[in-house]
Chains A and B, each alone.
Chain A
Amino acid sequence: MTPAMTPAVTPDVTEALRTRLRAWILANLYEGAAPPGFDDATDLIAAGVMDSLAIMRTLTQLELAHGVRIEPNDIVPEHFVSVAALAAFVAAKG
């Protein structure tokens, strides 16, 4: 594997990112209360939580707090479907 192919994200970084994103999603998209069984793999789109407005809020937050620039082509369900997916996406952008 060449250096350029080495993942830039260590598990620790991803875990810290996940924790921050999870806290933000719970506070802002769930009004602070995690539903039973919620975890980082919960399908936020199927739950109706990650709707159009929520994606707009989320990407504004990502750009402000995480310093990434989200392009229109980045706005696909796979990037916003769960806390884990979002963290992986942001880590890859960073």
Chain B
Amino acid sequence: MVEPGATEPPQIEVPSADPAPLGGDDAHAPILVAGAGAAGLACALAAARGGVPVLLCERGPAVGGTVANVLIHTIGGLFDEAGEPVQEGPEGALLAELVARLTAADPRAAPRRIGRTRVLGVDPAVYRAVVTAWLAEDPRIRCLTQTEVVAPEHADGRILGATINVGGRPQRVRVRALVDATGEAAVVRRLDPDLVEPGEALAGLVAVLRGVAPGTLAFPNGVALIRRLRDAVAAGELPPACATLWPDSGPGADEVYLKFNLPATDFDPARMDAVLACLLDWLRPLPGFGAARLGARGALGVRDGGRIRGVYRLTEADLTAGRRFPDAVCRGCWPIEHWHPGTGVQLQYLPPGTRYDIPLRALQVRGVAGLYAAGKCLSAEPRAQASARVVGTCWGMGAGLGRQLAERAGDARETTPDHQTRLPPTSPHGV
């Protein structure tokens, strides 16, 4: 069992980095996955299961992505409103294994209801440990942390390779396919900024309080606290950042997760320190908060850091109609949870029982065969992304894409269909 609440995430063993240089053998070229968050992890695991080598590059010091870094303690999108798994087939099996691994590692990991939705409550540190260990089990996956995909290379409308920066040392790799699972389309943006639609949702910032009396936020006490918070902001007792704050019980009985919702730009960590100090002083006289203290704080969680311009753009109408696609990679059913910069969160449930498909074409970058995005940066309308970006759906997207890429591995290299405008090729000498 993994020790919950560990402050230092376990480090994955980094193999010596000597990927094959460009010009190597296509048949042995890996699928290059950029970003080891939900979509990237799932894509790597699924593709490796399909028998193809995977090079998984994570910019940060550890894998786990938004859940581990931003401190997400409820994983949505794994279950529908009835508590049934959302994904089916091989994707369903992979996600069932994720749930089994998380619940085996931590007895506190359990499904819970939030409104009509069902989520899996997790400790973000346990999640990180579980996925780190899982990746290390598959010898087909080579995972490099502190490694960034800096320069994708393509010619004749298809991806050929990329330059990756391994701990600051650039190396060129030939790839079979390139999957941008960075959450912000960082790799696609480097190829051509016009291939990415700008993001527009508020970002989330989580701070954990410990030492709170158990049951303090039992439903609907959290709403009463939100009411007090807003009154206090209006009265000038608390800074404006507290006006959109949502508190929630954490995985530990004495934990409260405070989620702030802020503009993704103009974020100042020092100013946030002052906000948290002020908030703690204000909370302490309230029942249950007398012994509260600040615990871990997450990185800024960017809900929409930009979406690729794909071969297909998933629409809100597709979601509400439960549209099916012949090239589906996974399914989604999470409500449209749109954190509008002007008006705050708007939650719209899909009609009861609705599940929609996410087509492969919404993960294919327009004009460049072999270049994909999975997770938050899929090709979608903002309100469609506001449902599809949930962690469980990102796992589904990665899993379905990884499987389909592995199934295509025996086929000839993909080329861009003639009706699509091909990007001009990158310099033959790299970037």
State the A residues within 8 Å of B (CB): 31, 33, 35, 45, 47-49, 51-56, 59, 70-73, 75-77, 80
Contacts and interface: CB of A to CB of B under 8 A. Distances in A.
A80 B220 CA distance: 10
Nearest to A55: B223
Given A51-B116, A54-B115, A75 B351 contact: no
23 contacts: A31-B349, A33-B351, A47-B116, A48-B115, A48-B117, A49-B116, A52-B114, A52-B220, A52-B223, A52-B226, A53-B115, A53-B345, A54-B115, A55-B223, A70-B227, A72-B227, A72-B228, A75-B220, A75-B224, A75-B227, A76-B220, A77-B220, A80-B220
State the 4 A-B residue pairs at the shortest beta-carbon distance, nearest first: A51-B115, A48-B116, A75-B224, A72-B224
In the complex, which range does the number of interface residues on chain B fall in? 20 to 34
Interface of B: 81, 113-117, 219-228, 231, 246, 345, 347-349, 351-352
Contacts of A45: 219
Interface majority SS (helix, strand, loop, mixed), chain A: loop
Given A31-B351, A53-B345, A53-B347, A48 B227 contact: no
Contacts of A80: 220
B387 to A, nearest CB: 14
Contacts of A35: 352
Contacts of A75: 220-221, 223-224, 227
B322 to A, nearest CB: 14
A53 B227 CA distance: 12
B122 to A, nearest CB: 20
Contacts of B221: 75
Contacts of B223: 52, 55-56, 59, 75
Contact of B226 (A33, A56, A77): A56
